[in-house]
Structure 1
């Protein structure tokens, strides 16, 4: 199960890279069009706005998996390894629970936007689609945090890697 979740989180991370590439080209074409021919790219603001949100949500799980999130542990590192392990397990479970709540709220918002037929201003893209995609990233992040907690519980010798 852990390998499948890693595969999905890595895949979402690569999709986030692709979205960043699209955003880069969009902004470049928009700026060049604005200054060279006085015609900005229609919808560039929407593409970058939604793309940035998806980039964040799609990258969270893999970033957590490779332990690249910022941690402030100057107090926790003074405790014995067993206590540090307990802290890390609790933190991973809290992250999983919070991501579950965020996922639920994203689902509620997606349903609301679907019922109201809300679309973006220039391109007319349905907004609920972005909420559902963000929800996918959140679910994967919650699963990574939960699997991380289980792995920490099973680990016998513990050394904080952060």
Structure 2
């Protein structure tokens, strides 16, 4: 399982790297040659959403997202377990619903033939990749919830 999560993190990292490279290249092209890279803004904007969704998948599974755990820290072990179960269940439900809604958005964008402004690149593959990231987040959170439920004594 860890190798699969590592691959999800690699995809998120590569997407962030592509955003950084594209942004740097666009700035340097504008500064050095007074030339803007076509669709640099649109592509980086679409990649940013996708990278966030893929990053959320691994952060949710490994429970390494931003947390305010003051109440959790002072709770007894049973209270901590209940808080973890409740929080993971709510997050799982939210991401499952978001994955379903984003699937609808992918279908809608595909049907509308939406394209970027300069190069006329189809936008739906970016939406589909983002939807896959959220679907992975929901699946991995479901797996985390399952592990929390079966780990009664631990």
After TM superposition, where is structure 1 displaced by more than 4 Å over at least 4 residues in a row? Answer: none
The number of residue pairs the alignment matches comes to 154
Instruction: Give the helix-richer structure, 1 or 2.
Output: 2
1:31 alignment partner, one of 24, 27, 30 = 27
Runs (5+) with no aligned partner, structure 2: none
2:121 alignment partner, one of 111, 119, 125 = 125
Runs (5+) with no aligned partner, structure 1: none
2:45 corresponds to 1:49: yes
1:99 alignment partner, one of 95, 102, 117 = 95
2:79 corresponds to 1:83: yes
2:8 corresponds to 1:12: yes
TM-score in terms of structure 1 length: 0.86
CA distance in structure 1 between the aligned counterparts of 2:142 and 2:81, rounded to whole angstroms: 14
Does the aligned pair in 1 maintain the 2:51–2:130 contact within 8 Å?
Answer: no
RMSD: 1.6
TM-score in terms of structure 2 length: 0.90
Does the aligned pair in 2 maintain the 1:9–1:140 contact within 8 Å?
Answer: no
CA distance in structure 1 between the aligned counterparts of 2:26 and 2:72, rounded to whole angstroms: 48
Map 1:129-144 onto structure 2 (within 5 A): 129-144=125-140
CA distance in structure 1 between the aligned counterparts of 2:60 and 2:15, rounded to whole angstroms: 20
Structure 1 equivalent of residue 146 of structure 2: 150
Give the C-alpha shift of residue 65 in structure 1. 2.5
